[in-house]
Amino acid sequence: MDRFWRLPQNISTYGGDIDSMFHIIAWITIVVFFAVELLLVWFLFRYRAREGRKATYTHGNNRMEVAWTAGTAVIVVILGVMSRGLWLDIKDPRRFPDAGLELIVTAKQFEWNVTYPGADGVLETDDDFTVRNQLRVPANTNVRMTLRSEDVIHSFYVPELRLKQDVVPGMSIPAWFEATVPGQYVIGCAELCGIGHYSMDASFYVHTAEEWTQWNAQQQTAAAGGATTNVASADATSAEPAGSPAAAAAGTSN
Amino acid sequence: MSNAASATMETGTSGFGVYNMKLGMWIFLLSEVMFFTGLIGAYIILRFAGPDQFADPGVVLNVPLTAANTFLLICSSVTMVKAFAEIEQGNQAGLKRYLVLTAIIGMMFVGVQVYEYMQLAHEGFIPLADLYAAHGRHAAEGGAVVGGPLYASTFYTMTGFHGAHVSIGVACLWFTVFKAYRGGYTKNNYGGVEIMGLYWHFVDLVWIILFTIVYLI
Amino acid sequence: MSTVATAHESGTHDAHGQHEELPFLRKYVFSTDHKVIGIQFLFMSLLFLLFGGLLAMAMRWQLAWPTDPTNAMPGGSLLPETMFTSGVMLPEFYNALVTMHGTIMVFFAIMPLLVGVWANYLIPLQIGAEDMAFPRLNMASFWMAVPAGLLMMASFAVVGGAANAGWTGYAPLSTSDVYSGVKLGQQLWTISLVILGFSSLIGAVNYITTVINMRAPGMTWFRLPLSTWALFITSILLLLAVPVLAGGLIMLFFDITFNTGFFNPVVGGQPLLWQHLFWFFGHPEVYILILPAMGFVSDIMANGARKPIFGYKAMVWAIIAIGFIGWIVWGHHMFMSGMNPLLGGFFMVTTMMIAVPSAIKTFNWLGTLWGGNIIFHTPNLHAIAFVALFVIGGLSGIFLAAAPVDIPLHDTYFVVAHIHYVLVGGSLFGIFGAIVFWFPKMFGRMMNEPIGKLHWLLTFVFFNLTFFPMHMLGSGGMMRRLYDPTVYPHIAQHQDTNVFITVCALLLFASQFLFMFNFFWSMFRGKKASANPWNANGLEWSAPSPPPHGNWGGRQPVVHRGPYEYSSPESDEDFLMQTAPPTGRPTPAHS
């Protein structure tokens, strides 16, 4: 099934639940699809026009109308109820798990800037540091992002995280994820944002705890030293974790 | 509709017994309701989202002047009703008298609105964000911010579209007057006056809602 | 009765037997005859369909062979430097293509093909009226659509090029040339849509009044053909949705032109306000784009199966239900927009609910085929394809309606596949079916059946080959509106699929020339059609083909029964026209 749908590898804690929901809907729709289409083809064959035959004269059947109306309604209501909890778990800030790391992601044409809290662990203080086109997080940590835009609407999208969230100017939109598989992935923009929309990609690294601590410490020192290197260049390749298939593929981009 | 015998008030072969033109006008007014609902809805959303962009009632806008203007418009609805009542009785002179009166009051309403716009613009109540920064109330009053450019944008758009509707209505009224002087309406054929009235009352009603929301709340 | 007043500009055509001969301009150009206006809309919207298709081909070429001068798009070198430079399409032009393909197809091709053409042509004929309630308003409606279309086309030629913020025109990308590089093009886009909106609006006023007031004696509400029912509900949706869009577009225009800041967060405006206004219109619009096709398919399928439509009243109530629920589902376009997630939960439930009337319709079409004596004429093939493909479009909608599943799928090719299964697999097949079905009424000649069937087969095959793989590209994570899909490694690995899709899309486009040839050839050389070539029941088939000005030559048709009395025991034949007087045989009880 995953091969058929070409689902990307899942690396987030809630991605599995989304995929399960996807598969439930996929199986229901596949069954309905084959039932309806086979019935259609069967009717077309069975009731094709023949000489001297008249069609059945009927205007319908109220019992059948009630049956398929109720049947469909029950299925979609169940799907709706099942989806609602998962939806709120992922998107409702009141249900967000406690954050192990808080970040600000600021989008602008056509780049992603990630602001880290620095040594004090608190955002929007003097020791914050900002990295351009790189999002680095430790694995198995709840990351809470505040998404902001400086110009137009962008959309933060990492297929492997099963996370997408529009980034709207004038709004600070919260989002969270917990990545489980270390590797290198790509952030894409999913909302048309101008001429460079197609190439508004950024690297996304999920590090092991040690790698993360080391990189974070490096950046904090650089930031504290007042060095201008706190804005790292777009494709800096330090602390490259061991590659997953996605990482190998991502390495060839740009 | 026993008195709706003429060609323009034909009821067709089915339906609710409402002649085509009147039914068409009702349907058209439904879409007008949606148009103003969209504008008013946008205003409410913007005002809730950024209350500091908007001033309290009476601080910027001239409420007494507009209240008088509102009264004027309500009067024109009364004269419109009179015009319709006269032609239903077949009274041509009464029809002409009240139609002309309605059109003149309508023009006065638009005139007062233009005067109000000019006053407001002179005071620096300007919708354009760039101009506002340079010459708006913000600059004029030495930093004492009363509302933002968005306040002016919503104000001029909503009242402006209403004003445009009144102006179109006045034009149609003069056309109706012209037709009345040519003897175009009779006791049995007053469809044109009736749908003119429907439109005019609608525009009046919209103004009462707009006045409440924009000026008083 | 003689044949008069068709709209094709045939000089050889004999137009005698009419009480008064109108001059050419009044008869073919500024005509108030609903049939001529319908045919005018047909020519206009087919031209736009062709043009919109051409834009899609340019996009597909770019997606298959992006920035590859050795495989440059044919004809690309003819385009100005601002669109195409040294064998490579520019990203700003690609974004303009995306925007204009969507805008033109939705507003200038599918919408007039469904409503402008058939509401004008069919409603008076199906309800037994001589013309529309307001014929001159009707003419104005068409002659406003033309300049709207010309303005839209002209935007390609202005400084900065055509609008490039997507057919949804999301602010603030659309409101500032600092962000998009386009000002004049976006202004023209806005003005054009406001004018077109007004055209649709006065059209809708006309259609609604006509259906309510102008029905022939005996034509009760529940004897209306489903085409007319669908067009009636569609007109109500248009009437109430278009003014909201117009209000939004006017604010957008003010933002672009005067920097009023409605949607500009820098001065306190709300970008999401535009999305709410757009989709409040936009979702009813989606139903505007499918309901009429559902009506045509019902009419055609009952005729093809030689059987009454299954569950006529259920079909009517399903159309009405879609018309109502369609107003409270717009938020599902905004699941990812940052809107309150509780609202998202609400919109998810309403969106799921709207699957119910759609399912009712599908099952009733199956019920119509069951026990039929099915004739596979070309219109019926298109109707069958509609049902088969609408099922896919509906089912893929369930994925997108489930908000958590929509998170990875939103703004990907899964959505592109979904919308095209509904709008092409659904609406366009319905339109093709309708054109072939009512062509003899319009032009007095039949379309060629073998060519029609070949066109149907090729379109069906290449449509599926083009759009089905897009589902997988989407679930594989390919975003929409990407100028160069190879930038992202997770998309680049599916590049061979993109090439395959492009090849099939080109073949799909090429297949349409068969239809074009058939259309024009049949207009002049097709087999002469009788008044009722399909042995159908509707009132339109009791008028001559083509009907004269006034439709029944002064006779007032009288209706005795519903529109779907096929194979009724009341008649020896397998059809029984609505105008046929009662035979005296006992009428079977309706369930």
Model confidence pLDDT, tens digit, residues C262-286: 999 988 889 999 999 999 999 999 9
Q: Chain C, 355-414: which have a CB under 8 Å from a chain A CB?
A: 355-356, 359-360, 362-364, 366-367, 369-376, 384, 387-388, 391-392, 395-396, 398-399, 401-405, 407-408, 410-412
Number of Cα atoms under 13 Å in the Cβ half of residue C478: 29
In angstroms, the separation between the Cα of residue A218 and the nearest Cα of chain C is 29
pLDDT bucket at B50, cuts 50 / 70 / 90? confident
Task: Judge whether C299 and C563 are in contact, CB under 8 Å.
Answer: yes
Look up residue C582 and give its two tokens: 């009662």
pLDDT at C204: 97
List beta partners, residue A142.
Answer: A178
Determine the average pLDDT of the residues in C401-424: 96
Interchain CB distance below 8 Å, C262 and B12: no
Look up residue A220 and give its two tokens: 């904090």
CB-based burial label for B212 (10 Å; 0-12, 13-18, 19+): exposed
Determine the average pLDDT of the residues in B68-93: 95
**Contacting subunits of A (3+ beta carbon pairs below 8 A):** C
Tell me, yes or no, if C339 comes closer than 8 A to chain B by beta carbon: no
**Contacting subunits of C (3+ beta carbon pairs below 8 A):** A, B
Chain C residues within 8 A of B53 when measuring between CB atoms = 267-268
Check pLDDT > 90 for residue C586: no
Assign C553 to helix, strand or coil: coil
pLDDT bucket at C7, cuts 50 / 70 / 90? very low
Task: Judge whether C92 and C85 are in contact, CB under 8 Å.
Answer: no
Phi, psi values for residue C523, rounded to 5°: -60, -35
Look up residue A151 and give its two tokens: 């110009």
Task: Judge whether C102 and C169 are in contact, CB under 8 Å.
Answer: no
pLDDT at C553: 86
pLDDT bucket at A251, cuts 50 / 70 / 90? very low
Interchain CB distance below 8 Å, A198 and C477: no
Assign C186 to helix, strand or coil: helix
Look up residue C159 and give its two tokens: 């400084």
Say whether the peptide bond before residue B125 is cis (omega within 30 degrees of 0): no
Provide the phi-psi class of C181: left if phi over 0, else alpha when psi is between -120 and 50, else beta. left
- Would you say how long chain A is, in residues? 254
Residues 6 or more apart from C382 whose CB is under 8 A from it?
C300, C429, C430, C432, C433, C436, C456
In angstroms, the separation between the Cα of residue B193 and the nearest Cα of chain C is 18
Dihedral angle, C-alpha C183, C185, C190, C193, nearest 10 °:
180
pLDDT bucket at C587, cuts 50 / 70 / 90? low
pLDDT bucket at A250, cuts 50 / 70 / 90? very low
Task: Judge whether A48 and C374 are in contact, CB under 8 Å.
Answer: yes
User: Mean pLDDT score of chain B, rounded to an integer?
Assistant: 86
Q: Chain B, 56-95: which have a CB under 8 Å from a chain C CB?
A: none
pLDDT bucket at A252, cuts 50 / 70 / 90? very low
Q: What is the DSSP letter of C415?
A: H
pLDDT tens column, B88-126 = 999 999 999 999 999 999 999 999 999 999 988 887 787
Strands C88-89 and C84-85: antiparallel
Give the whole-angstrom CA distance, residue B148 versus residue C323: 40
Look up residue C350 and give its two tokens: 């309403």
Q: What is the DSSP letter of C89?
A: E
pLDDT at B147: 64
Number of Cα atoms under 13 Å in the Cβ half of residue A111: 12
Look up residue B40 and give its two tokens: 């008013």
In angstroms, the separation between the Cα of residue A224 and the nearest Cα of chain C is 32
* Chain B CA closest to residue C131: B12
Phi, psi values for residue B186, rounded to 5°: -135, 180
Interchain CB distance below 8 Å, A253 and C376: no
Look up residue B154 and give its two tokens: 């919503």
- Among the listed residues C222, C382, C361, C223, the one whose alpha carbon sits nearest the alpha carbon of residue C300: C382
Hey, how many other C-beta atoms are within 10 angstroms of the C-beta on C229? 24
pLDDT tens column, C164-211 = 999 999 999 999 999 999 999 999 999 999 999 999 999 999 999 999
Chain C residues within 8 A of A4 when measuring between CB atoms = 472
Check pLDDT > 50 for residue A241: no
pLDDT at A247: 39
Give the whole-angstrom CA distance, residue B121 versus residue B139: 13
Give the whole-angstrom CA distance, residue C168 versus residue C174: 9
Check pLDDT > 60 for residue C9: no
Give the whole-angstrom CA distance, residue C141 versus residue C152: 17
Check pLDDT > 70 for residue C348: yes
Give the whole-angstrom CA distance, residue C4 versus residue C1: 9
Q: What is the 3-state secondary structure (H, E, C) of chain A?
A: CHHHHCCCCCCECCHHHHHHHHHHHHHHHHHHHHHHHHHHHHHHHHCECCCCCCCCCCCCCHHHHHHHHHHHHHHHHHHHHHHHHHHHHHHCHHHCCCCCEEEEEEEECCEEEEEECCCCCCCCCCCCEEEECEEEEECCCEEEEEEEECCCCEEEEEHHHCEEEEECCCCCEEEEEEECCCEEEEEEECCCCCCCHHHCCEEEEEECHHHHHHHHHHHHHHHHCCCHHHCCCCCCCCCCCCCCHHHHHHCCCC
Give the whole-angstrom CA distance, residue C554 versus residue B211: 52
Residue matched to tokens 């909302």: A191
Nearest to A8 among C337, C392, C476 (CB): C476
Q: Which residue has the higher pLDDT, A251 or C581?
A: C581
Tell me, yes or no, if C80 comes closer than 8 A to chain A by beta carbon: no
Tell me, yes or no, if B34 comes closer than 8 A to chain C by beta carbon: yes
Read off the amino acid at residue C559.
Answer: V
- Does the complex come out with an ipTM higher than 0.85? yes
Determine the average pLDDT of the residues in B30-47: 94
Phi, psi values for residue B149, rounded to 5°: -60, -25
Interchain CB distance below 8 Å, C213 and B129: no
Assign C479 to helix, strand or coil: strand
Percent of chain B with pLDDT over 90: 65
Hey, how many other C-beta atoms are within 10 angstroms of the C-beta on C398? 22
Tell me, yes or no, if B7 comes closer than 8 A to chain C by beta carbon: no
pLDDT bucket at A107, cuts 50 / 70 / 90? very high
User: Mean pLDDT score of chain C, rounded to an integer?
Assistant: 92
Tell me, yes or no, if B11 comes closer than 8 A to chain C by beta carbon: yes
Interchain CB distance below 8 Å, C341 and A57: no
Nearest to B14 among C214, C239, C276 (CB): C214
Give the whole-angstrom CA distance, residue A93 versus residue A104: 15
Determine the average pLDDT of the residues in B5-16: 59
Check pLDDT > 60 for residue C14: no
Give the whole-angstrom CA distance, residue C181 versus residue C160: 6
Dihedral angle, C-alpha C434, C438, C440, C441, nearest 10 °:
-160
Look up residue C191 and give its two tokens: 């003005």
Check pLDDT > 80 for residue C359: yes
* Site from B21, B26, B34, B130 to mutate, C interface, most C CB atoms within 10 angstroms: B34
Provide the phi-psi class of A118: left if phi over 0, else alpha when psi is between -120 and 50, else beta. left
Max avg pLDDT among A72-76, B189-193, C74-78, C464-468: C464-468
Tell me, yes or no, if B28 comes closer than 8 A to chain C by beta carbon: yes
C-alpha distances out from residue C107 to A96, B47, C186, C192, Å:
42, 32, 16, 10
Check pLDDT > 90 for residue B151: no
Chain C residues within 8 A of A196 when measuring between CB atoms = 91
Chain C residues within 8 A of A28 when measuring between CB atoms = 398
CB-based burial label for A43 (10 Å; 0-12, 13-18, 19+): buried
List beta partners, residue A167.
Answer: A154
- Among the listed residues B194, B177, B186, B195, the one whose alpha carbon sits nearest the alpha carbon of residue C137: B195
Residue C484 CA to its chain's centroid (Å): 29
pLDDT bucket at C10, cuts 50 / 70 / 90? very low
DSSP string, B36-93: HHHHHHHHHHHHHH-GGGSPPTTTSS-HHHHHHHHHHHHHHHHHHHHHHHHHHTT-HH
Q: What is the DSSP letter of C53?
A: H
| Strands of A202-207's sheet in order across | A134-138, A202-207, A183-189, A154-158, A163-167
pLDDT bucket at A126, cuts 50 / 70 / 90? confident
